Amino acid sequence: MNSTHSVAAHWGGEFDESGLQQWAESLRRQLPGEHPSLGLVFMTPRYFPQAKQVLEILQVHAQIPLLVGCSSESLIAGGEEIEEEAGIALNRGWVVVDDLMRTNLPGIFAIGDVTGRLPLAHVASAQGILAVEQIAGMEVSPLDMDAIPRCTYCQPQVASIGLSEAQARQRGFDVRVGRFPFLANGKALALGDHDGFVKLVADGASGRLLGAHLVGPEVTELLPELVLARAAALSPEQIARAVHAHPTLSEALMEAAHALLGRAIHI
Ligand SMILES: Cc1cc2nc3c(=O)[nH]c(=O)nc-3n(C[C@H](O)[C@H](O)[C@H](O)COP(=O)(O)OP(=O)(O)OC[C@H]3O[C@@H](n4cnc5c(N)ncnc54)[C@H](O)[C@@H]3O)c2cc1C
């Protein structure tokens, strides 16, 4: 049994023993601080029929802002009840949220796989931070889903961020593409692992990096350089001009940027 289940079992036990009102009061007392800023509700399908009361008690009577979480499986098991009883809007089983992870009910957020957005651990984590920052009264901006790195740990590895060449063309950018094969990278040859390539997609008009698509050795470890480059709005020119150590796999990123500018050195 993992710690989440132990905590859920603890609160579930208290709920069964003391009933709804006392359970909420006990939860409120045990949360840190005189005016706790965060409440967590464990929604097992067993409690969905009482979900609305639980939410009301915690939010209105105990004045605890809520971060609501439950698994996709729980929603499949009790989706109708949570929609009908708690009034949280669902769309084909996913909790409907806006760009700031707010549900249709004020003060109630949903994050992670239950939202039906890109189902990745780092997305769930970033969404959680976004929700908690709002609960803490901080100013926030929506997540830029085009800036989310996507990694697949197969052989060879696959990693990407941002727009594909086709998506960039669809959105009307002046698309420039640069490719560089690991076959022409010294470190990849030394490793005996040279299948794959780096492909960069940029906007010719603004010089902005729009996307990056990598297949090959340790590309999931190479992608963060491009995640930062994109976040800092670095151009392919700046990536190409940044001297990369030899022999490293990262030279393939620099070479792809050179290729995009029409002046590849090693191909
Ligand atoms: C096999 C596999 C491999 C994956 N590999 C990757 C990867 O390499 N990289 C990546 O980024 N993502 C990966 N993912 C996706 C990633 O695991 C999910 O996107 C991420 O865990 C979603 O986080 P979450 O908090 O929404 O849900 P979860 O991580 O599923 O967390 C939900 C938690 O809630 C608990 N829970 C469920 N129901 C209740 C309830 N009713 N009451 C109380 N607690 C409850 C569960 O026990 C669980 O601990 C993988 C997923 C799978 C299945």
Give every strand in the sheet of 209-216, ordered side by side.
150-152, 157-162, 209-216, 197-203, 175-181
Structure tokens that stand for 193 in this block: 């692992």
CA torsion sign for 120, 123, 128, 131 is: negative
User: Residue 54 Cα, ligand 1 centroid: separation in angstroms?
Assistant: 24
Query: HSE (CB half, 13 Å, CA atoms) of 197?
Result: 11
Give domain limits for the chain. 3-135, 147-260
Contact 161, 150 (CB under 8 A): yes
What local confidence, expressed as pLDDT, does residue 87 receive?
Answer: 75
Contact 188, 248 (CB under 8 A): no
For 231-263, give one letter per residue: b (16+ CB within 10 A) or e.
Answer: eeebbbeebbeeebeeeebbbbbbbbbbbbbee
What local confidence, expressed as pLDDT, does residue 257 receive?
Answer: 98
Residues within a 6 A CB radius of ligand 1: 4-5, 8, 42-44, 70-71, 74, 112-113, 119-122, 124, 153
122 is catalytic: no
Per-residue pLDDT tens digits for 209-234: 999 999 999 999 999 999 999 999 99
The parts of the chain modelled with pLDDT lower than 50 are 1-4, 34-39, 41-42, 61-62
For 135-170, give one letter per residue: b (16+ CB within 10 A) or e.
Answer: beeeeeeebeeeebbbbeeeebbbbbbbbebeebee
User: Residue 125 Cα, ligand 1 centroid: separation in angstroms?
Assistant: 11
First to last CA, the chain: 54
Separation of alpha carbons 38 and 166, rounded Å: 43
Contact 75, 93 (CB under 8 A): yes
Structure tokens that stand for 18 in this block: 């003391």
Separation of alpha carbons 76 and 114, rounded Å: 10
Ligand 1 atom closest to Cα of residue 44: 41
What local confidence, expressed as pLDDT, does residue 37 receive?
Answer: 47
Nearest CA to ligand 1 atom 15: 120
Ligand 1 atom closest to Cα of residue 113: 26
Contact 113, 71 (CB under 8 A): yes
Assess if CATH 3.30.390.30 describes domain 147-260: yes
The model's pTM is 0.80
Strands 108-109 and 94-95, by their bridges, are unpaired
